[in-house]
Structure 1
């Protein structure tokens, strides 16, 4: 049904189409515009809209104060001419949302005769019922409960080409004319396809890496967030996989051949990775996303993964592809990569957690030797987290006094007499309980707290040894303290030992310092000078775990050592006569003979039985240490042994 006409054949003056102040020219957009493809909530238009005049008002005459003015027939004709000539597609809608009249621009936009659009529901023409939010806002405009509605819609032209349109619906003032006030809203439709196309091209530039033409970091994390969005139901496996890749030694390419060759190499790497993932995707477009995250780091996101086997096959394929030589700038380059692989259920995980796991696993692959892929291991990761927790609390633990010492006896193999004890540090951790040195000594060396901890151990052990000396002055026992390599370099060990001996009153002959074989063999400069100074002071130097390190026997004669401690691996060969390895006995016998010829005494560790002790005694070992004699003891237990 067409619009009701007045006596002159024109639309009634009360509802001049196209006069809404909210209408915008083609392509215009106001601030607060709804993003493309999304519905916008209605926003009331604050622009004043002239209302209709009473029918008896004189056209052109001044209106009474506060009274609205009705357009004259000439003005109505001008409005109609402007409505029809406008380049912006427009239509007047009734209170049911049907088109009352449409201008030619709207007909051209929709590919239909404007006259045939009359009575057509605007919601069907422009897909305004696509989502509930837009539909509700649209109905509010028609019923007078809402202001302007603006949204973006994707339409399809008659030739099948998509058309992006910005749709605006503005309320018209109520009419008191004979038409019953049916015209309720002004619809305007602008073709923004060119603008959308430009936005798409700009987005592609913004979301892609210019060197490799792959998706960049922003694109990758946008896709990852969408995959992990719990509001988006998945019809696939519900799992997700990630390969986090870093090129091994790429910096050398930039440094030696220049950044231009480096960029060409990155581009070639990206192509090979994309080829591998295309093959692994089995033709499913979008199943895998290859992205360059920055520098020489790449990531491959696998949606709806089928398990760790799929990810491991993909990682192996990428490693194989990258190991093939690259021919660039007339040079043949070889390359390798390290890959961290993570595969898990998408539900319950986050982008941050997934990337942390991938980064940790990549670090493992690097630490394990590079040119390999490593699968995320929850147990290994838990151990890493525990290590980090311990490392972060080491220094405060020293200040809080959470460390304590236990002492393991060193017994003469010949007479069974207690000659000394080795001080072993324990950490009474408030969360993890009592921890042995194997749980935190390496961390202390890495974090640099080993100097402070070692100084505490040395002072505590010397103070306790002095008490034992006073307890049994006729036959005092010595105390043996382990010294880390970093203590030799990061502190003045000689000055520390001298100060602590003076502070505690312990004679230097009752102190023995243990250093591992790998720490002293081949050492020169400051460490060797420190050992010589300590030896001249009267402190005994013991080489711990001898036989497992460098075993530079020629250098051994030049060290100021007085004791060799045989590693427990040799001693364990004496545990069972039936399974004893004759070579172990031969090696131990040779080491003992060599040590004695150099003027050194020999201590055997890990003695666990009387048979072991007897066989070691016959070979010539001087001192034994192990559970056969005693486990590490509290100082009070050692005191009771001295009293007994």
Structure 2
């Protein structure tokens, strides 16, 4: 939500800044949840209790700042705070966890509570308390997510103040150190080098740009981004990712030094400063040299990888143009190259600025779409190939836009995944799937088809996921066996320890866990299958090549053999021809989906499809015999 983004992005460099930010957090919670009392409490250093640091409440209510609550006297409440993402009580007077606090809550007329721990550096700093006066109140999933995000905003604000204070102390220390340095030592200290790649960093690049500006010399910037670093990190670990980045930096530097200065800007992003006046053709030739250099496979952590980069090219329109703006323009062009599939370059042009604005507008429109229930699941049939029998559906999101019509996920999901919106969208769609499963089960009982729901990497790693699942299933009275959760290889391997616990918790609730797009990551089968999963889905790019490409066909055969030996359900995606369906059936693949059977259907059309799949009822006369 925009209000969370505003709070999270607010600069906090002093205690006054922090106090103002925390007050806004409390007022925001009070307004959005329509509650009168909201407070922030801090744990004692030894964890023996919490003390109220700030609050908002109705006029005339006694001030609670400085009031403390002892942990030893209220073990049930404090145990929940230390172990859960949220403390949710719909009725404080019947909640056994609050038995010791009941007199205090009754005196303040508190009927329901929604508390979120504030966690900083992996340690509990305090708790954000949202209290509803009056009778019981059932907290919505959206409200729970909102309060959890607000607690994260508090953590960010406090962390920013701590960082600012540390930077101030460091600045003072550096000032004292500089006063002791000779002029020669000062010049040496000004040279900054990236510790991982040993390349000049952004500050060194800026100094060189300042020299060019002082001499009124022309230049160009080529921004370079590693296309697949995130995939390497997720599949092989961050140590392998650092190795891949260092190797890439060395390869680029070998060629880039002929043209100018290569610097590391951040993470997997570099910039090549090319001094002098150049034509677009000159810069394209340089880009091609760099692209060609990195295409040769390299060995990283025992795996042969082909690295890929995307490049963005920008020139200052005038010599007096701000150098930082030129770098931003090159980065914008580089993102365009990535959108085109990576492994290429793009020139900056002013229309890209308008597209950046459009991306911001899209994010705002998505917030509105969530509020108006415009994001809807469409259901693609999953067939048992041997019997050609309907077994379930995969829920695929579509945006039903009031002006643009049906918008496919390819036009908005990627941007949603770059922000916290994907968590809100995921919660909305999971609740929608539960509601649909409940409707079908009321009509068909245990014969109702399962619904498979896709989880993003961020959603799968979210500590609040299990609470979301419990809340949605309880709200719609849906058993776990009615649902399957689909996750990608990289989602599982990105946070292996956390994900393992998540999978166990999901399967304990009766839901099946299926790996989607199997075979597309860098992970080995043996590594991936250490996780307790229920099924696999063969990616459509392999299925489409069955009978045409020997390597793809062999991969599919291996997956079928693997799944059968491990007794895992296997579904092939993207089946479009009878020949492919027959091949998969003959070789023992259990299930399949694709346009051969049906496109993704609206809920109403899916119901009609179900009715066609049901057996004909017996005639009344025959039943009476």
Name the TM-score, length of structure 2 as normaliser: 0.48
Q: Which has the higher helix share?
A: 2
Between structure 1 and structure 2, the one with the greater Rg is: 1
